[in-house]
Structure formats: structure tokens, C-alpha cells
Amino acid sequence: MFLEQKGNKTQKKGWIEVVCGSMFSGKTEELIRRLKRAEFAKQKVEIFKPAIDIRYDDENVVSHVGTSIRSTPVPSSGNILLLANAVDVIGIDEAQFFDDELPEVCEKLANSGIRVIIAGLDMDFTGKPFGPIPDLLSKAEFVTKVHAICMHCGDLAQYSHRKTKNEELVLLGEIEEYEPLCRKCFNLATKR
């Protein structure tokens, strides 16, 4: 955490980091890595995830490869403000599932001197921007886009192709429902 001297007071400087990409690209793994480094540096860390995400665990944030870190499930982004007390770093996983207030919540946290690290899908299964992620990308000081490997051709993949016929925007799933695809394979699969 950077400190800034203002007169006789030392203030923490906060910022926003976004880790985005397709499913199976390592977003959560990168979020956990950054949060564990902050804990190692003796910083106070709190992690939040949307209450609807219970794929691997009701409470912990868990990556596809099984790495986990304790977290607090919350029903809305406003709860993060209520629960973020005396922390240096806040992690937020699956940010695309939060409400449209998340960017404002993250700005308030960063403005109060907290480092905010967010992980989420930047596009939905149709290839369109997903939830609050576009606004978060525009407000972030640091953006990391991670890629999976295309399941059809082996190139870099940035799309989360839904293999099932379900048209609901939010469908929690894994490798049975989704596969990462590159642009060309995604366009072929969706007949664009």
C-alpha cells in the first residue's frame, strides 16, 4: 500500500485493479494470488463474492483448479461497503454477477485508501459486455486481461461459448456448459 504525506498525516492511497477475461482463463487464480501476496505482506484483506455463486463452495472463493481463499458471500455490492472495516485490500470475485452499483462502491473504497482487486468476465456468452465490468474497466488504474486456450483450435481464447441451449443471461456452470473459444471459432460456433 502506498502512503502519501499530507501535512502531519500519512494517508493510504487506494486504487482499483481489474482482472478480466473468459471462463477458464485464470481470473480467480490471479485474484487469489494477489490477495495471498497482500496477506503475506501483513495487509488486512477481505474478500467478497456474490451470494449466488455456490458452484464450488458456499463461502470460499475457489478457482477451477481448486485453489481457494476464505470469502464473504454478499447479496449486493452495497453490503461490501458495510463490511469493509479497517482493511487495506478488498478482493471481489465474479464481479459480473453484482449489481450496477459495484463501480461506485469500488470508487468509494479506493477513494478511502483501499486497494480494490476485482475479477470477472468481461463478456457474456453472446460476446457482449457483461454487467458492471465495462464501467469498472474505465475506472480502474490497472487492467489485466487473461486468456484461456481455445478448445477447438488451441489459439488464445477470449470468449465463453455456452454449449447448452439455455438463453438465460446468468447460468452458473462449468466445462459441461461452457468452453473457451478464440474469435474465429466463436464466430463459427455462433454463426456470426
Do 148 and 155 form a contact (C-beta atoms < 8 A)?
A: no
- 17 is a catalytic site residue: no
Pick the catalytic residue: 94, 101, 104, 167? 94
Burial class (CB in 10 A: 0-12, 13-18, 19+), 42: exposed
Element (H, E) at 92: strand 89-92
Annotate 159-168 with b (16+ C-beta within 10 A) or e (fewer): bbbbeeeeee
Element (H, E) at 98: none
Indicate the pairing of strand 15-21 with strand 142-146: parallel
Return d(Cα 164, Cα 143) in angstroms, integer.
31
Question: Read out DSSP for 112-128?
Answer: TT-EEEEEEESB-TTSS
Which amino acids are annotated catalytic? 94
